[in-house]
Amino acid sequence: MSHLIEMKGITKTYQLGKTDVVALRGVDLTIDAGEFTVVTGPSGSGKTTLLNIIGCLDRATSGSYVLDGVDVGTRDFDDLAGVRNEKIGFIFQNFNLIPVLDVAENIEFPVAVRKNAEDPAALRARVEQLAKAVGLDQFLHHKPDELSGGQRQRVAIARALITRPRLVLADEPTANLDSKTSEQIIDLMLALNREQAVTFLFSTHDARVVSHARRALQISDGRMVAGAMAH
Amino acid sequence: MALLKLAVRNLLRNRKRTVITLVALVVGVSAMIATRAFINGFRGMIIENQTRGVLGELQVHHVGYVANVQSSPLTIDMVDSPEVRAKIAAVPGVGVVSPRIDFGAQLSTPDRTPPHEDGSELPEADRGTSTFMMVTAFEPALEKQVTPRRWDWIGAGRGTMSEAGDSTSLVLNDDFARALKLELLPAGAALPPVERQAALITGDREQALNGENVVIGGTFASVTANDRRIGFLPLALAQRLLRMEGRVTEYGLTLEPGADLEQVKAGLQAALGPEYEVHTWAERIPFLTDLVETQTKIFNIVSTIVLLVVLLGIVNAMLMSVLERVREIGTMLAVGMRRSQITRMFLMEGAVLGVVGGVLGIAVGLLLVLVMSQAGIELPAPGAKVASVIHPTVEPFFVVRTLAQAVIGSALAAILPARRAAALRPVEALAHT
Which segments of chain A does DSSP mark as H helices, in order? Answer: 47-54, 77-87, 103-112, 120-133, 149-161, 179-196, 207-212
Q: How far is CA B381 from CA A26, B152, B225, in A?
A: 85, 16, 8
Q: Which residue of B has its CA nearest to A58?
A: B427
Interface with B, mutate which of A113, A116, A203 (most B CBs under 10 A): A113
Query: CA-CA distance, A76 to A83, in Å (whole number)?
Result: 11
Q: Are strands A88-91 and A70-71 parallel, antiparallel or unpaired?
A: unpaired
Residue A138 has a pLDDT of 92
CB-based contact, A13 to chain B, within 8 Å: no
Query: CA-CA distance, A38 to A230, in Å (whole number)?
Result: 10
Q: How far is CA B414 from CA A99, A143, B101, B169, B229, in A?
A: 21, 27, 64, 70, 59
Q: How far is CA B100 from CA A165, B159, B213, B251, in A?
A: 93, 22, 20, 6
Query: CA-CA distance, B303 to B313, in Å (whole number)?
Result: 15
Residue A229 has a pLDDT of 39
Across the interface, which of A52, A99, A113 has its CB nearest the CB of B336? A113
Residue A226 has a pLDDT of 55
Contact B430 A96 (CB under 8 A): yes
Residue B68 has a pLDDT of 86
Residue B331 has a pLDDT of 94
Per-residue exposure over A145-182, b if at least 16 CB sit within 10 Å of its own CB, e if not: eebeebbbbbbbbbbbbbbebbbbbbbbbbebbeeebb
Stretches in chain B below the pLDDT threshold 70: 1, 165, 382-383
Which segments of B14-135 does DSSP mark as H helices, in order? Answer: 15-50, 82-89
Query: Residues with Cβ < 8 Å from B222, sequence gap 6 or more?
Result: B173, B174, B175, B228, B383, B384, B385, B386
Contact B336 A82 (CB under 8 A): yes
CB-based contact, A55 to chain B, within 8 Å: yes
H/E run at residue B285? none
Residue A104 has a pLDDT of 95
Across the interface, which of A78, A94, A100 has its CB nearest the CB of B13? A100
Provide, as residue numbers in chain B, all residues whose Cβ is less than 8 Å from the Cβ of A90.
331, 334-335
Q: Which residues of B touch A (CB under 8 A)?
A: 1, 6, 9-10, 12-13, 327-328, 330-341, 425-427, 430
The whole-angstrom distance between B257's CA and the closest CA on chain A is 59
H/E run at residue A118? none
Query: CA-CA distance, B370 to B364, in Å (whole number)?
Result: 10
Identify whether the C-beta of residue A51 lies closer than 8 Å to the C-beta of residue A90.
no
Look at phi and psi of residue B361 and say left if phi exceeds 0, alpha if psi is from -120 to 50, else beta: alpha
- Estimate the crossing angle of helix B15-50 against helix B396-413, to 10 degrees: 150
Identify whether the C-beta of residue B235 lies closer than 8 Å to the C-beta of residue B229.
no
- Condensed to tens digits (0 to 9), the pLDDT of residues A162-176 reads 998 989 999 888 877
Provide, as residue numbers in chain A, all residues whose Cβ is less than 8 Å from the Cβ of B340.
78
Residue A230 has a pLDDT of 39
Interface with B, mutate which of A100, A102, A108 (most B CBs under 10 A): A100
Identify whether the C-beta of residue B333 lies closer than 8 Å to the C-beta of residue B33.
no
The whole-angstrom distance between B354's CA and the closest CA on chain A is 21
Provide, as residue numbers in chain A, all residues whose Cβ is less than 8 Å from the Cβ of B1.
101, 105, 108-109, 112-113
The whole-angstrom distance between A24's CA and the closest CA on chain B is 16
Across the interface, which of A85, A96, A108 has its CB nearest the CB of B336? A85
The whole-angstrom distance between B39's CA and the closest CA on chain A is 45
Query: CA-CA distance, A120 to A122, in Å (whole number)?
Result: 6
Interface with A, mutate which of B327, B332, B335, B345 (most A CBs under 10 A): B335
Residue B73 has a pLDDT of 86
Q: Which residue of A has its CA nearest to B14?
A: A100
Closest CA to B214 of B135, B150, B319: B135
Number of residue pairs across A and B with CB atoms under 8 Å?
A: 68
* pTM score of the predicted model: 0.78
Closest CA to B214 of B184, B176, B246: B184
Query: CA-CA distance, B32 to B398, in Å (whole number)?
Result: 10
Q: Which residue of A has its CA nearest to B329?
A: A98
The one-letter amino acid code at B214 reads: V
Stretches in chain A below the pLDDT threshold 50: 227-231
Query: CA-CA distance, B6 to A211, in Å (whole number)?
Result: 41
Burial of B242 (C-beta count, 10 Å sphere; 0-12/13-18/19+) = buried
The whole-angstrom distance between B328's CA and the closest CA on chain A is 6
